[in-house]
Amino acid sequence: MLDAISFALMIVSPNLALMGLGFYLQKMGKINTHFIDTASNIVFNFALPCLLFFSVIKNNVDYDEQLALIMAGVVTTFVLFFGAEAYAKIFIKQARDKGVFVQGVFRSNMAIISLSVATNAYGVSGTSVGAVYVGVITILCNVLAVITLSRTSSIKGLSVQSWDILIKIVKNPLIIALVSAFIYKALGLPLPPAPIAKTGELMANVALPLALICAGATLDVKSMLGLSGVSMQASIGRIVIAPLLAVGVGVAFALEPLQFGVLFLMVSGPAAAASYVMAKAMGGNDVLAANILGFTAVFGLIGFYRSRTRRYFWHFRLVFLVHFGGVGT
């Protein structure tokens, strides 16, 4: 039990610590809105693209062997996306909140949190299969995030909005980085020379710490904990609805145990740190995005603790019981 608690803290606490640092610095007047805006812009346009590009070109994985898992991930992501869109259309009133809410529901922290847990649960096999999932689904998540965050108002006609969204997808630095990386690998090119690779690695290392500090500096604790608030509604979608859906899709696709476990972990993670950066860059409600990130990170700690203590039972009949503390385990 102590080992499980230690593992959960090791995975989640660095994120919480960096967000806490940002919150403290902002409250003490050490950083201001200008710093947050500038730093978030650096992360979105330079650091995160480097992180995504070099992560893809350095991974040697076989995508063909995991086709069923990829399809299950695509279906799960689309169901979460369109379900959240339908909910937001009816229940979320503010235009700046809608896209942030939707992104908070369907986009999880796959590359950092979920992949770490998959590695610990399944070893090298979990890392390899998880990397396949992350590589493909990250592109889809970024495209869908641009779409949902691009809806400014109902004043523009459908054709104008569609064109605006297409332009934003094509110009999005994260999507450009991912597509470029897959083309680079498809051409069979060698890794970049050491100076370039090292520069990219250094820039990539800036991405997540700086994004989390900025998110922490933007937190509004009172609204985050409000039971009827938008952040609470999105967090329920992320940490309750998403895992339930993953179980259903895994059963429908008859995934083998390893694939099922990876799908569950990838879908069940807390909100992605990149969701805050993209929301801020595209004019969404950055306070709401930070609140969703903070809330799901805290409750994700509980989920990963349970996953760790029952890691040997991750297959499609038990994974639901494991995560939600059901009977019989």
Whether 92 maps to a domain, the answer reads yes
Q: Is residue 292 part of a domain?
A: yes
Domain that holds residue 216: 2-32+60-162+207-324
Q: How many domains does the chain have?
A: 1
Which CATH number belongs to the domain containing residue 244 in this structure?
Answer: 1.20.1530
Q: What is the pTM of this model?
A: 0.78
pLDDT tens string, the chain, 329 residues long: the values are 566 566 666 666 777 788 899 999 999 999 998 999 999 889 889 998 898 888 888 877 677 788 999 999 999 999 999 999 999 999 998 988 999 999 999 999 887 778 777 877 787 788 778 888 988 898 899 899 999 988 644 445 556 667 777 888 888 888 899 889 889 988 989 999 999 999 999 998 898 889 889 988 887 777 666 655 898 899 999 999 999 999 999 999 999 999 999 999 899 888 988 888 889 888 889 889 998 988 887 776 555 555 554 443 344 333 443 333 333 33
Residue 118 lies in a domain: yes
Q: For 204-271, give the DSSP string.
A: HHHHHHHHHHHHHHH--HHHHT-TTSHHHHHHHIIIIIHHHHHHHHHHHTT--HHHHHHHHHHHHSPB
Domain assignment present for 251: yes
Residue 168 lies in a domain: no
Does residue 180 lie within any of the structural domains?
A: no
Backbone torsions φ then ψ of 222, nearest 5 degrees:
-60, -50
186 in any annotated domain = no
Q: Quick check: is 257 in a domain? A: yes
